[in-house]
Amino acid sequence: MENQMDLQEFWNAISILINNYHTVNRKICACVINEVRVKPGVSNEDNNVDKDKLFSYLKNVSEVPAKCSGFEIDFKCLHKKSKDAIHATGIVDFPKSIFRLSFDSDDIDDFQVSFCDGHLGVVNLNPLADTEKGDRWSEYILKPKLTKWSKVSIDNVSGGSLRLVDIEKYNTLYNEFKRKYSEKAMMFWNDAKESTDPLKFIYEDLAIAAYLIALWQSDSMGHSPVSFADLGCGNGLLVYILNEEGYKGYGYDVRSRKIWSFYPTGVANNLREETIDPGTFHLPPEVDWIIGNHSDELSPWMPVLAAKSHYRMNYFLLPCCAFEFSGRKFQRRNSSMSTYNDFCCYVESISKVCGFETERDRLKIPSTKRIAFIGRRRRYSSTSHLSQIEEINHFVKREKQLFPNNDNIEIKLRDKVETVRNCTQIDKTVIEGIVLKIFGLLLNETDASPRQDLTGAEWLAGRSLAMSEIASGLQKEDLKQIKSECGGLKTLLRNKHEIFELFKPDIVKIRKPQQLQKVCNKVQTVKKRPCFFYTNHPQGCPLPADACSFIH
């Protein structure tokens, strides 16, 4: 049954739609309001009005004067894949409870949303439109969005994405960068044989570069960088794009990447392998912007490093994984929030302690972690800089004491050599011992269910146990060794899939050996490993030697 709404809720939904049409049409980056006019013939005054007046009336429809029948809105819709904008006209009709949106393009259908007796009505106004496609869009995209928005207070609606930049400028830059750099970046990726997903990283870094340049070019305070430093630059793609666009800067990471050597020489020389220890790390004196793009352990340090470097230093931070100052995983302060949202609040509080007028924005990137923080203005004068640094040092020291790392060192930094953590680096005898212990727990003969083998005889299959029950049956030292290998017990069980079988939710059983399937015209795999069950099961393997995938 369709949810009902009242008249004010209808106009709440329309108010959000006017600002967020791009969320119901993924071809559009944003719709910019060029002009708002009172509907013709209702006033002798100038019909042009401030858009704040429009949203004020939409927020409190009961206060709309009788002489005001509605508004006309001129939009410029920015297409994601075209440099040519699409112009549109929106009509707000208060007496009829109607909102109409018409486009100067045959590619987008005009439509009308109406309110009657507590229900929404959507009509496609294009007589040549694909009716079935239009109905699907109306039923499964537009109506659900409007219904959701109708229950949201306009005061609680976030400011949206890209609030701090000129959206038209950003969209132009992003489309330009896709044409200029996407194929080159893909070539670098392939030549370097990078294992990470190029589509995610390339388009994400193109969008971040477009955002930064749009931010710098639109900054009336003159905060365009003399030079930047990308700390934890990873593949270095962001540094490459910014350098190619004429912005001087450097990238730092604890370990170099293969792809660095494939960039032009000038860019490759700006990418530096260096451990970033916040206590000893120093930047070149000309650097006045610090960039933290998914900088992990360094994320809480970004406002601190910017504040302590010099008074004119600015920062841009796009946090992803959440960490404490000590390098341990972030501990939530507010359990009612997700870890990510709580960490974002924490970053904002750090920036405030550091004396920045912190700005917050949401980027348009292929990631769920899209919140960015910008610090480009100070809340204190340059004469108070030294006392501000003392306050920052005291704050950081206290936080490290409250949330220390497990290694009892001041700051746990990332190792230069990336540790392989999939339980393959533990001593084989240790692994074999733990596997036998788990096998023994499952093969409890007093509580076991027999299965039929190929000859019809009963084969002891053991019992099912929850992961927690297996963990409680192992020694603490066993768990400690596999826990340090990222994923721990579950990873070990998955690695031994020929012995164990996992079911939801975290239930483990012994996997009965499967008969070797012979496929005609296909080279058979040579048996290389001994059969675990032949050696360790009290009844041996239920399969004959020629039918088993392993050596008897």
Query: What fold, for 7-156?
Result: Alpha-D-Glucose-1,6-Bisphosphate; Chain A, domain 4 (3.30.530)
Residues with Cβ within 8 Å of residue 84, at least 6 apart in sequence: none
186-195 average pLDDT score? 91
358-390 pLDDT tens trace: 999 999 998 889 999 999 999 999 999 999 999
Q: How far apart are CA 450 and CA 461, in angstroms?
A: 5
Q: Tokens 């109409």 label which residue? A: 100
224-228 average pLDDT score? 89
Q: Tokens 């119901």 label which residue? A: 24
Tokens linked to 252: 């730092």
Strands 70-79 vs 119-124: parallel, antiparallel or unpaired: unpaired
How high is the pLDDT of residue 1?
A: 43
* Sign (positive or negative) of CA dihedral 434, 437, 441, 445: positive
Largest Cα–Cα separation, the chain: 98
Global pTM reads: 0.74
Which has the closest alpha carbon to 270: 291, 294, 301? 291
pLDDT above 90: residue 461: no
Q: How confident is the model at residue 185 (pLDDT cuts 50, 70, 90)?
A: very high
CATH of 167-402, one of 3.40.50.720, 3.40.50.150, 3.90.180.10, 3.30.70.360: 3.40.50.150
pLDDT above 70: residue 453: no
Q: How far apart are CA 150 and CA 202, in angstroms?
A: 37
Enumerate the domain spans of the chain.
Answer: 7-156, 167-402, 428-514
148-159 average pLDDT score? 76
